């Protein structure tokens, strides 16, 4: 295994930015110091003027394997992830077949062990009738349990209240939820179909999958977690009203109920449907600019704990269908971190806060073993960023298998220059090292 010495970087870690060196040996961070002498013939990387960050841990992706690999697969999407500074991901169970048995779950781990460029974990999926399988899940090497409380791609809707209460009360594992009230959505959809037939505009998406639908489901899940003592994590919060459900008066390590926001809900608003159309059709929907402002406020005051992507590729052909037929979701892992860095340059969030929400907090929240921080002895999952290197997203540099991005045409002023996964330099100056270095995430439970 190679030895590397990163010199003169601006290290961003645990609320501080300081100039220093990092020595990487045997896949780990061996030493962090103001100046480290190269005595072991390490390869030296001069990071003068660059930020050195712990790699982003994306707690919600859909890499589409098995069964939906015309959209993306673990190899293609993890390649895009490391190019975007994401060194670890947690993938969701709504593949084909759904990962709702221990055998099917382990099949996905086996695929990733052979194909993933980034570190990986997979959620166990809950349904209306697989409690016995859910309870077999090993907390040491599985990130958590995923429940869809609203239908989405690959319908795994859990809509029986007695089943939900049984799952919540029967496991100590983290339960992550997609929270949208299905009855409200269906009522809204019926009303718009009555008005427009099949010719519904995508601009109606946030009215069909409304703020009310999100709040009803999130508040119900939180009430159930409070009743049962379950460990609940609410994925992709998208509305102002939902942000009022979460607390910031206790440390993250002590929270039993936590929240995530996604990059697209921080970047886009309903005004963008006019130009982006189905390319920004997600579940939950991108909503108003006032919702977006409230999400930023809750993120910065720590009611919202982590930032993720909900990376969910579909082909352009699928997205080009009429609104009612076009699937929800879009690819984001290659561009999430640089989008956040752009927001930092605009004064919306500090670089320290970005690292906290994308690396430190996911590691704390999921109790990930020895990742998410620049600490001696930790796995060397690192990202170097040139903060002054303009580039424009185009079809020529998009790595997603689906070949498109909602950011196409966007110019970013920061560029990922190097990505290390487990001490291996897997991405350097636009080139992928074809050695697949990802490892299965382990959890301190």
**Hey, how many other C-beta atoms are within 10 angstroms of the C-beta on 11?**
22
Q: Kindly report the number of other CB atoms within 10 A of residue 317's CB atom.
A: 10
120 burial level (CB within 10 Å; 0-12, 13-18, 19+) = buried
Tokens of 237: 């919060």
Q: Kind of pairing, strands 306-308 and 382-386?
A: unpaired
- Read off the pLDDT of residues 405-426 as tens digits, 9 standing for 90 and up: 999 999 999 999 999 999 999 9
pLDDT digits (tens, 9 = 90+) for 330-339: 999 999 999 9
**How far, in Å, CA of 185 to CA of 405, rounded?**
27
Cα 138-217-340 angle, rounded to 5 deg: 75
pLDDT band, residue 203 (cuts 50/70/90): very high
| pTM of the complete model | 0.97
Per-residue pLDDT tens digits for 117-171: 999 999 999 999 999 999 999 999 999 999 988 665 556 778 888 989 999 999 9
pLDDT for position 150: 64
Does 205 have pLDDT greater than 70?
A: yes
Q: What is the mean pLDDT of the chain?
A: 96
Residues 163-195: tens digit of each pLDDT: 899 999 999 999 999 999 999 999 999 999 999
Pairing label, strands 431-432, 424-428 = antiparallel
**Over 70: is that where the pLDDT of 240 sits?**
yes
């Amino acid at each position: 295994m190679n030895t590397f010495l990163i010199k003169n970087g601006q290290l961003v870690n645990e609320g501080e930015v300081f100039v220093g060196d990092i020595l990487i040996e045997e896949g780990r961070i061996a030493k962090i110091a103001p100046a480290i002498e190269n005595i072991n013939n390490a390869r030296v990387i001069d990071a003068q003027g660059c930020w050195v960050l712990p790699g982003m841990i994306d707690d919600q992706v859909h890499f589409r394997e098995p069964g939906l690999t015309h959209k993306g697969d673990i190899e293609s999407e993890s390649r895009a992830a490391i190019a975007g500074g994401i060194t670890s991901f947690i993938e969701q169970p709504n593949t084909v077949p759904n990962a709702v048995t221990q055998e099917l779950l382990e099949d996905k781990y086996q695929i990733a062990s052979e194909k993933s460029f980034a570190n990986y974990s997979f959620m166990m999926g809950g349904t209306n009738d697989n409690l016995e399988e859910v309870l077999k899940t090993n907390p040491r090497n599985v990130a958590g349990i995923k429940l869809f409380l609203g239908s989405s791609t690959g319908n795994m809707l859990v809509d029986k209240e007695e089943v939900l209460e049984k799952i919540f009360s029967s496991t100590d594992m983290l339960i992550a939820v997609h929270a949208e009230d299905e009855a409200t959505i269906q009522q809204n959809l019926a009303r718009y179909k009555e008005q427009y037939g099949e010719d519904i505009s995508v601009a109606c998406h946030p009215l069909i999958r409304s703020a009310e639908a999100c709040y009803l489901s999130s508040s119900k899940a939180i009430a159930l977690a409070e009743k049962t003592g379950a460990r609940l994590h609410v994925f992709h919060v998208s509305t102002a009203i939902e942000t009022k459900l979460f607390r910031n008066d206790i440390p993250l390590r002590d929270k039993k109920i936590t929240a995530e926001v996604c990059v697209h809900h921080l970047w886009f608003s309903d005004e963008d449907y006019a130009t982006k159309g189905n390319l920004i059709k997600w579940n939950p929907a991108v909503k108003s600019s006032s919702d977006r402002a409230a999400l930023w406020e809750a993120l910065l005051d720590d009611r919202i704990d982590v930032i993720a992507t909900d990376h969910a590729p579909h082909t352009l052909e699928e997205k080009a269908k009429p609104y009612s037929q076009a699937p929800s979701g879009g690819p984001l892992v290659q561009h999430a971190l640089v989008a956040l860095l752009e927001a930092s340059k605009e004064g919306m969030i500090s670089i320290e806060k970005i690292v906290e929400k994308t690396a430190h907090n996911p590691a704390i929240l999921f109790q990930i073993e020895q990742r998410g921080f620049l600490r001696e002895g930790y796995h060397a999952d690192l990202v170097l960023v040139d903060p002054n290197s303009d580039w424009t997203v185009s079809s020529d540099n998009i790595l997603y298998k689906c070949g498109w991005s909602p950011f196409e045409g966007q110019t970013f002023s920061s560029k990922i220059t190097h990505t290390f996964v487990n001490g291996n330099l897997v991405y350097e100056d636009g080139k992928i090292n074809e050695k697949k270095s990802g490892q299965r995430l382990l959890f301190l439970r």
